[in-house]
Chain A
Amino acid sequence: MIKLKNISKVYRTKTIETTALNDIDLHVAKGEFLSIMGPSGCGKSTLLNIMGLLDEPSNGSIVVDGQSITKYASKATAKFRNEKLGFIFQSFHLISDLSVIDNVELPLLYRKISGKERRRLAAEALESVGLINRKGHFPNQLSGGQKQRVAIARAIVGKPAIILADEPTGNLDSVMGDEVMAILTRLNEDLGTTIVMVTHDERMAKKTHRLIRLYDGSQVATASLA
């Protein structure tokens, strides 16, 4: 589903060159639930961002769902991102000016779908995360766990083949973290959605199919957990 070949990411300033990722080769299979672990600053989020086409690698090639990605700022890539990928962020990134249902609807705005259909799909996504009764609320009226569930609903509303989650339980307590993890697991098992999750939490990582570990931008270990 996702093929990374010789991926490197180097940040350069006038005086310093920092290697965030060093020659990463990775293949994520369709329907796989992969977790990425490693110490802070090892390049986990950078790797996830590159897989999600949110960031460009300095070197290497990337193929997502059979499509080789070269132009990151193009309309076609934006469309591809919209249709194939869903994102969950540690700090939720909900838009505070929009209600819960409007936040969930957001990915559908960039598709040719009627307003009525958008509403129906957004309600369905909210239903699946158990927050339909909160659809008219605004993000600042929700708890952290609820915010993340709204973010999950937003990520799945467009029925993407791949979900990329950057520490989705990082800002939550263990109970809420478990709830969010349960939703992700269900998504993976019931709908066959491919999920790549960055986490610091060993307990959460153990619930996935495979774990890779990064250290200083390099892949140092892979463990199959399924």
Chain B
Amino acid sequence: MFLNYIKLAWRVLARRKFFTFITLFGISFTLGILMVFLSFLQSELGTSAPMKHKDDFVWISQVQLIRNVIDTIPVVDSMMQNGAMVFDTVSYDYKERSSGQSNSEINCQLAEKYLIGLPSAEYVTIFNSSYTNDVFVNGVKITINALMGDPNYWKVFNHKILEGRTIDQDDMDNAAQVIVISTKTAREYFGVTSGVLDRELKMDGKTFKVIGLYPDNSKIVDIISPDAVVPYTIYNMENQDSYYFGGFGAMLKKRDGATTQKLKEEIYHAASTIPIDHPDNNWEMNEVNFKPAATYNEAYAQGIYYEDKAEDSHQIMSFIVYGLLLFFILLPTLNLINLNVSRIMDRSSEIGVRKAFGAHQGNIVVQFIVENILQTFIGGLLGLILAFLLISLINSGGLLGDAILKLNTKFFIYSFFGTLLFGILSGFIPALKMSRLQIVNALKRK
């Protein structure tokens, strides 16, 4: 009997080509787009290497100086008496407001002094991500987006080390001209993706010795996937703008047992201890803050949709992302239900005949569910192929910059079973309704 249902389902799909096309298009397109969307989210916000500890991060990219002023607002109570204004009492209201602010990347020494050693932070890495250099290899220009970092960079981000080692404290102390490069840089600069240790890489008028190699983890956010990492002590600190501002940022990884919220509070407290009366404060600023002091996801959301508080950005972005996901799933599902209802209604005479010849309600429901499962299964496979093609297209065309999307089988299985469930439900409800029809009424319907 079951085999017969599958055979019938197949024939129904084959003979009702338009219905089948619309339905399969809906399912496969939904799954395909959903997969690409989730792959992108996974690539940017997932916890695969080097972002294994991503949810423990608090990111600070700027320091902010604020000038708060207090406005005095006199409030005069008055009344009219015999046609004349009579003054009664005068009170004063005081309101603090920001009359100016200045934001920029952080001075390295300031970051070292106020961000290292916070109780809730296990590791702090301080970096300058704008060490971008054009170099020429056999007359061809390549751009190396290098990051000036520290030994903790490798403890915060878990890049896999393919060869050699990472930067250590000796390298930092000696401002050694050593470099850890990604396979992308190895390929572009040396033309190989292994065996690059101890080779020399010339950049920025310096000769760096390659001490390590890590895989290229293409991401949109540059601090996660730099082309190379060098010790930040090679940087001429004199070039920094002021006591407050420099070209640096920091990523803190919370300690086990601590919370990112606690760490944020410690960061705010540390900022409040930064002296505001330094001569470099020549704009009469009276408050200093670290920004955004946000978790990785919050900072990422703020990069897309800016709100003063990164938490607000995150909330808005989450709402948009979940809304889009729901939209991607809900729209075709409703469409599928609609199609199934009309498809099943269309076959009421068949239901009548089957019942007249001995089918009971359960037989009818199972028959239509088998049809829907087969249909969704085919749609799911097409969706997988579509997602694969789209992802290949995005990766090869570099549509998302350096970001490389990967098909996530876990998400595929979830989405697939989700769609299957919707397929079953969308078939079940109309099938159940129709199977309850009195035979004589089912036969009368055209």
| Interface assignment of A115: CB less than 8 Å from any CB of chain B | yes
Q: Contact mask B334-364 → A, CB, 8 Å, 1/0?
A: 0000000000000001101111111111110
Interface stretch (choices A48-56, A168-176, A194-202, A205-213):
A48-56
Please determine whether B8 and A54 come into contact, CB atoms closer than 8 angstroms: no
Collect the chain B residues with CB atoms within 8 Å of residue A93's CB. 349, 352-353, 443
User: CB distance B439 to A54 under 8 Å?
Assistant: yes
Cβ-based interface call for B90 (8 A): no
Decide yes or no whether A223 CB sits under 8 A from chain B.
no
CB contact list, B399-446 vs A, under 8 A: 436, 438-440, 443
Question: Which partner residue on chain A sits nearest B362 by CB separation?
Answer: A75
A158 to B350, CA, bound (A): 18
Q: How far is the CA of A211 from the CA of B219 in the complex (A)?
A: 86
A83 and B358 contact, Cβ closer than 8 Å, known pairs A54-B440, A93-B349: yes
Interface centre among A49, A96, A97, A154 (most CB of B within 10 A): A97
Contact indicator A78/B360 (Cβ below 8 Å) = yes
For window 16-61 of A, CB contacts with B under 8 Å fall at: 49, 52, 54-56
- Among B349, B362, B440, point to the contact of A55 (Cβ < 8 A): B440
Query: Mask for A88-118, Cβ within 8 A of B = 1, else 0?
Result: 0100010111100010001101110001000
Closest residue to B4 on the A side, CB-wise? A109
Choose from B7, B15, B356 the contact partner of A87 (Cβ within 8 Å): B356
Is residue A79 within 8 Å, beta carbon to beta carbon, of the partner chain? yes
Are B15 and A81 closer than 8 Å at their CB atoms? no
Contact A97 B11 (CB under 8 A): yes
Of the residues B350, B356, B363, contact of A81 by C-beta under 8 Å: B356
- Alpha-carbon separation in the docked complex, A106 to B12 (Å): 16
A111 touches B358 (CB 8 A): yes
Cross-interface CB contact of B356 among A54, A73, A75, A102, cutoff 8 Å: A54
User: Is the pair A81, B352 in contact by a Cβ cutoff of 8 Å?
Assistant: no
Q: Is B1 an interface residue (CB 8 A)?
A: yes
Q: Does B140 contact A (CB under 8 A)?
A: no
Tell me how far the C-beta of B179 lies from the nearest C-beta in chain A, rounded to whole angstroms: 68
A179 CB to nearest chain B CB (Å): 22
Q: Is B73 an interface residue (CB 8 A)?
A: no
Q: Are B15 and A56 in contact (CB under 8 A)?
A: no
Complex CA–CA separation, A44 to B3 (angstroms):
39
What chain B residues lie within 8 Å of A98 (beta carbons)?
A: 8, 11
**A185 CB-CB contact with B under 8 Å:** no
- Interface mask (B1-42 → A, CB under 8 Å = 1, otherwise 0): 101100110011001100000000000000000000000000
Q: Given contacts A97-B8, A97-B15, is CB(A54)–CB(B357) below 8 Å?
A: no
Closest-CB distance, B133 to chain A (whole angstroms): 68
Whether, in the assembled complex, A82 has its beta carbon less than 8 Å from a beta carbon of chain B, the answer is: yes
Which chain B residues border A79 with CB–CB below 8 Å? 358, 360
Name the CB-closest residue of A to B15.
A97
Q: Which residues of B contact A49 (CB under 8 A)?
A: 439-440
Which B346-390 residues have C-beta < 8 A from chain A? 349-350, 352-363
| Other-chain contact of A107, B1, B350, B358 (Cβ < 8 Å) | B358
**Chain A residues closer than 8 Å to B12, beta-carbon distance:** 97
User: Taking the nearest CB of chain A, how far is it from the CB of B95, in angstroms?
Assistant: 69
What 1/0 mask marks residues of chain A from 139 to 180 whose CB sits below 8 Å from any chain B CB? 000000000000000100010000000000000000000000
Asked whether B440 lies within 8 Å of A106 as measured between CB atoms, the reply is no
B356 neighbours in A (Cβ, 8 Å): 52, 54, 81, 87
Q: Is the CB of B357 within 8 A of A110?
A: yes
CA distance A82 to B356 in the complex (A): 8
In the complex, what's the smallest C-beta–C-beta distance from A134 to chain B, in angstroms?
17
Q: Is the CB–CB distance between B438 and A106 below 8 Å?
A: no
Distance between Cα atoms of A93 and B16 in the complex (Å) = 18
List, in ascending order, chain A residues with CB within 8 A of B361's CB. Answer: 73
Q: Within the complex, which residue of B4, B359, B436, B443 is in contact with A54, where a contact is CB–CB below 8 Å?
A: B443
Distance A158 CA – B439 CA, assembled complex (angstroms)? 19
> How far is B362's CA from A97's CA once the two chains are assembled, in angstroms?
21
Q: Could you tell me the distance in whole angstroms from the C-beta of B4 to the nearest C-beta in chain A? A: 6
A26 CB to closest chain B CB (Å) equals 18
Contact of A106 among B11, B357, B360 (CB under 8 A): B357
Contact A110 B358 (CB under 8 A): yes
CA distance A72 to B437 in the complex (A): 12
Q: How many angstroms between the C-alpha atoms of A74 and B361 in the bound complex?
A: 9
Partner of B357, one of A74, A97, A154: A154
Chain A residues, Cβ within 8 Å of B438: 54-56, 72
In the assembled complex, the Cα of A158 lies from the Cα of B357 at a distance in Å of: 9
A107 to B16, CA, bound (A): 24
B225 to chain A, nearest CB (A): 54
Minimum C-beta distance from A62 to chain B (A)? 15
Question: What are 28 residue pairs bridging A and B, where the CB atoms are less than 8 Å apart in the complex?
Answer: A49-B439, A49-B440, A54-B356, A54-B438, A55-B438, A56-B438, A73-B361, A73-B436, A75-B360, A79-B358, A81-B357, A82-B357, A87-B356, A97-B11, A97-B12, A97-B16, A98-B8, A98-B11, A102-B7, A107-B357, A109-B1, A109-B4, A110-B1, A110-B357, A110-B358, A110-B359, A154-B357, A158-B357
Smallest CB-CB A-B distances: 10 pairs? A82-B358, A110-B358, A78-B360, A107-B357, A55-B440, A54-B439, A93-B353, A75-B360, A54-B440, A49-B440
> Besides A49-B439, A82-B358, A106-B353, 8 other CB < 8 A contacts?
A54-B443, A75-B360, A78-B358, A79-B360, A83-B358, A97-B350, A102-B7, A106-B354
